[in-house]
Amino acid sequence: MNVAQSSVRAEHPSAEPLLSIQKVEKCFAKRAVLCGISLDVASGEFLTILGESGSGKTTLLRLIAGFEQLDGGELWMAGERLDNIPAYRRQVNTVFQSYAIFPHLSVSENVAYGLRAKNVPRNEIPSRVAQALAMVKMSEFAQSAPSRLSGGQQQRVALARALVNRPRVLLLDEPLSALDANLRRQMQVELKSLQREVGITFIFVTHDQEEAMALSDRIALLRAGRLEQVAEPREIYGNPRTAYAAQFIGQTNLLRAEVRDGTATAGSIAWPTAGASGPATFSLRPESIRLASETHQVVSAAHATAHFRGQIRNQTFGGALDLLEIDYGNSHFIRARIPNPGPLMGQQNFEFDAADAVRLLETSDA
Amino acid sequence: MYSRAYKATVTIPPLLWVTAFLLAPYAILFCYSFWSVSSVQVIVHNWNLQNYAQLFRNPLYLTVLLRSIRIAGAVTLLALLLGYPLAYYLSFHAARRKDLLYQLVIIPLWASYLVRGYAWKTILGSDGVLNGFLQYLHITHRPVEFFLYSPFAVILTLTHIYTPFTFLPIYASLEHVPRNLVEASHDLGASPFSTFVRVILPLSLPGILAGATFAFVLTLGDFLAPLLVGGPSGIMISNIVVSLFGAAYNWPLGAAISFCMLLLVVTLLFATERLEKRFTIS
């Protein structure tokens, strides 16, 4: 529980991952929910499983917790087989989406539940409960009945109840989804600092990509039971592998281009690119596009900047960034986010760095 | 807001109904309990407490009342011991067989009470199914008499009849135990047994109380089972009331006993309802 532990970062997972998910498969009523998921989680990592509803993210979490049985593959924790151990013997704790606070027990009895179940010495329990409640700022509610707590407070109790057991891995199933926007943002910050403080591995399930980017060391993007991409937030945002990843995480423009002799062409826009010739889809983030002054039309080889001209079709004021919808020819639209451009009209010149146009893996449904 | 006319139309008919068919009969019963029967078998309206005094003076009534309470207690205990595991199994482990098993528990309720009573008479009688079976196996050599016409037979019959009434509220309360609480308990390291004791059982207490109340109150007031299978040693308080209102022709005494029973049952219902509320967590 010190700052030193928080420096255990996940950029380079050590040789021995804490949790190893190997070719995991799960079916419900013969419908495959998870199809061969393989994923290693390092000690102290904050990993987010991100996906739409029905992508299988909660199922994956429930398999790790032990509430569901695998239909294929293996789970390993610290070199020991995990998937044939019953849930109550796993060193894993869960924060449930609906909190699952025991209604017939007080807040402190709820937090003490796991310690009692594991036969922690009786004289040790009160101090550990008090410590856990202090950690989530709920000390004053120790004797309260759960029914008298708000959603956010129940959330904190659920967190304390899980963390007091000092699990090796904490599983969080959309724990913030029931909170209103402000509380949610506040809890995100607290959750992240709490995770740094205790140094416990967090596996966090959410459908909210902003939440995933704000909290995670790594994001595992799940789509229809398969891993679409596993990477750090910056990497997955800057270099999405597929059109799905590019669109799910942040906003983007998908440019369907033709690549020939090191140049990609999408309508009136052309930019230099490496890679094989043929049709290709590129992702270009709206904020990568800048307004260009007409005098700098020369393409400099060093910077490889792409220029194009387009008609402003729509401008939405957004405070710091304005959202522009630009028609770059034949009613092909591209969206741009530009800082404080002032009112724009008619034809304008735009530019972007060719490196910001990320070539995506061709998938059948792109 | 509802109009006065609407409120009147929905409240007056049930009020009239309750007054005419519940409150008025109870009031009449209450009056009867203070009257007496003359030597020429006529009920005279001379107000006195003789009936209540006799209730406590004559040991017969207290003996039978205590026996009734003992039988009701035994039936309640047995119905809980049979009904709870069944309800637990159905609610938590029956999976696809749940609906079928539930129907199997309910179906006997559709058969007439009398039929079930007579069935036990047939089973327990001296040339009944049970004795025939025991003799066939050479466990006994002559019919065992004490199966039928004993408190044992009454307890057996009433347990059979009232277990579904105990099962139903327990099953309902178990169905209301949020399954994620069970998962949370396992998640926190509690074994299935410990989870049952610390989560499922406390949360099903309202159902246990309701089920126990059903079995106890229904048994306490039962008079058909003792009539069919009880014999002289299995007589219960309601049988006495029936005979006082019938052959013995002492309506005032019958009314006094009835009124005491009513008081007992209402107190019991009131107490268990209070308890149920205490154990029910919103």
Partner-chain contact B183 A100, CB within 8 Å: yes
Rounded to whole angstroms, the Cα distance separating B208 from B194 reads 19
Helix, strand or coil, per DSSP, at residue A222 = strand
Contact status of B188 with chain A (Cβ, < 8 Å): yes
- pLDDT string in tens for chain A (366-residue length): 343 443 444 444 455 789 999 999 999 888 889 999 999 999 999 999 999 988 999 999 999 999 999 999 999 999 899 999 999 999 999 999 989 999 999 999 999 999 999 999 999 999 999 999 998 889 999 999 999 999 889 999 999 999 999 999 999 999 888 788 888 888 898 889 989 988 899 999 999 999 999 999 999 999 999 999 999 999 999 999 999 999 999 889 999 898 988 888 888 888 888 888 889 999 999 999 998 876 555 555 556 888 888 899 989 988 888 899 999 887 788 999 998 888 888 888 898 998 899 999 876 554
Distance from CA of A189 to the nearest CA of B (A): 25
Considering only CB atoms, B181 lies closest to which of A66, A100, A145, namely A100
Rounded to whole angstroms, the Cα distance separating A112 from A108 reads 6
Q: Which is it for the CA torsion B220, B226, B227, B229, positive or negative?
A: positive
- pLDDT string in tens for chain B (282-residue length): 788 899 989 999 999 999 999 999 999 999 999 998 887 788 888 888 888 998 888 899 999 999 999 999 999 999 999 999 999 999 999 888 899 999 999 888 888 888 988 888 888 887 788 888 888 888 888 777 777 888 899 999 999 999 999 999 999 999 999 999 999 999 999 999 999 999 999 999 999 999 999 999 999 999 899 988 888 888 899 999 999 998 888 899 999 999 999 999 999 999 999 988 888 775
| Per-chain mean pLDDT for chain B | 90
For residue A294, what pLDDT is reported? 62
Query: How many CB pairs below 8 Å do chains A and B form together?
Result: 72
Distance from CA of B73 to the nearest CA of A (A): 28
Q: Which residues of A touch B192 (CB under 8 A)?
A: 88
Q: Which residues of B touch A86 (CB under 8 A)?
A: 186
Q: What are the Cα distances from residue A183, in Å, to A156, A163, A188, B172, B279?
A: 12, 20, 8, 36, 32
For residue A238, what pLDDT is reported? 92
Q: What is the pLDDT of residues B92-102, one digit of tens each?
A: 998 888 999 99
Contact status of B190 with chain A (Cβ, < 8 Å): yes
**ipTM, interface predicted TM-score of the complex:** 0.83
Q: Give pTM, 2 decimals.
A: 0.83
